[in-house]
């Protein structure tokens, strides 16, 4: 968990490090363009977090370390170059979330990959697709989205994830108790969709923020479906600090 958190922090810092010149024009209030911290110091901190994440994964197991190496390469490649590609941007950012799910499960991965592997891949793919939707919204963060049909298509993708989870429950891939989280998640997604439909920039930015925070609810569905409702509800508690921090920090 700590390794995953360190990767996330490193990714955020590398992102701002490589985007500094652009942020001077579009987001001058951020720490680097506002000169609240030097570019050299930010690079040192990012490398420190990335290196620490890899060391922690290595301490856990060779499997965890191998996945962590792939994850670190994908994070760096995204921040340095791939985020500027219209096609590779969403695929890469979704891929980092995909690998992060695999990293989280790496302590339970054993060769040959048979028992529970299909379950793991299902969860990772759902997270992958959900984050791709967020990435498409993020590409319109400043300009807004003029096409309502595009907004509808993106949210239909989220509803497809909901349906896929429902099917997984029917076929005992996830426990029935996950329905208790899936239903409110569907309602929240519907409310976000209704809010975003105008497509103006401010609403798109808030949509991105709400979808990012809702990843916690999606995670809770999978945790509940895997281990039961008590730990799933504990996962939901992460909503509290996330919502509080989102009022202070720039989420999109």
Around Cβ 208, how many Cβ atoms within 10 Å? 21
Torsion angles phi and psi, residue 207, rounded to 5: -65, -45
**What is the per-residue pLDDT for 69?**
97
Sequence spans of domains, the chain: 1-109, 114-252
Q: What angle do helix axes 62-80 and 88-105 make, rounded to 10 degrees?
A: 160
How far is Cα 82 from Cα 74, in angstroms, rounded to an integer? 9
3-state secondary structure 62-101: HHHHHHHHHHHHHHHHHHHCHHHCCCHHHHHHHHHHHHHH
Cβ atoms of 191 and 203 closer than 8 Å: no
Percent of the chain with pLDDT over 90: 63
**What is the per-residue pLDDT for 146?**
75
**Each residue of 41-61: pLDDT tens digit?**
999 999 999 999 999 999 999
Torsion of CA 195, 200, 202, 208, to 10 degrees: 60
H/E segment holding residue 58: helix 39-60
Cβ atoms of 195 and 203 closer than 8 Å: yes
Written as six digits, the tokens of 79 are 């921040």
Closest CA to 84 of 15, 130, 27: 15
Sequence-distant (6+) residues with CB within 8 A of 11 are 75, 78, 79, 96
By CB neighbour count within 10 A (0-12 exposed, 13-18 middle, 19+ buried), where does 72 fall? Answer: buried
**What is the per-residue pLDDT for 110?**
66
**What is the per-residue pLDDT for 197?**
87
What average pLDDT does the chain have?
Answer: 90
* Per-state percent for the chain, helix, strand, coil, to nearest 5: 80, 0, 20
**Ranges under pLDDT 70 in the chain:** 110-116, 142, 251-252
Closest CA to 64 of 92, 26, 93, 100: 100
How far is Cα 205 from Cα 144, in angstroms, rounded to an integer? 8
How far is Cα 142 from Cα 145, in angstroms, rounded to an integer? 9
**Each residue of 160-201: pLDDT tens digit?**
999 999 999 999 889 999 999 999 999 999 999 998 888 788
**What is the per-residue pLDDT for 44?**
95
Domain 1-109 grouped into CATH 1.10.357.140:
yes
Written as six digits, the tokens of 96 are 């980092």
**Which residue's entry shows tokens 């958190």?**
5
């Amino acid at each position: 968990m700590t390794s995953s958190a360190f990767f996330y922090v490193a990714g955020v810092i590398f992102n701002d490090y490589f985007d500094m010149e652009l942020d001077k024009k579009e987001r001058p209030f951020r720490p680097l363009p506002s000169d609240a911290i030097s570019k050299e110091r930010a690079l040192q901190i990012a490398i420190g977090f990335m290196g620490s994440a890899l060391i922690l994964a290595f301490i856990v197991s060779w499997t965890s370390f191998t996945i962590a190496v792939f994850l670190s390469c994908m994070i760096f490649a995204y921040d340095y170059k791939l985020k500027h590609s219209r096609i590779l941007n969403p695929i890469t950012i979704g891929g980092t979330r995909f690998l992060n799910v695999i990293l989280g499960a790496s302590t339970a991965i054993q060769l040959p990959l048979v028992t529970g592997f299909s379950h793991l891949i299902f969860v990772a793919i759902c997270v992958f697709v959900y984050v791709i939707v967020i990435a498409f919204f993020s590409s319109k963060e400043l300009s807004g989205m003029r096409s309502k049909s595009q907004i509808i298509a993106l949210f239909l993708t989220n509803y497809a994830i909901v349906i896929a989870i429902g099917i997984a429950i029917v076929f005992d891939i996830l426990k029935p108790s996950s329905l208790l989280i899936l239903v409110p998640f569907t309602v929240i997604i519907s409310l976000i969709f209704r809010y975003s439909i105008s497509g103006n920039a401010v609403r798109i930015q808030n949509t991105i923020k709400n979808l990012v925070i809702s990843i916690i609810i999606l995670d809770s569905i999978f945790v509940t479906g895997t281990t039961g409702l008590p730990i799933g509800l504990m996962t939901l508690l992460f909503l509290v600090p996330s919502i509080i921090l989102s009022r202070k920090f720039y989420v999109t």
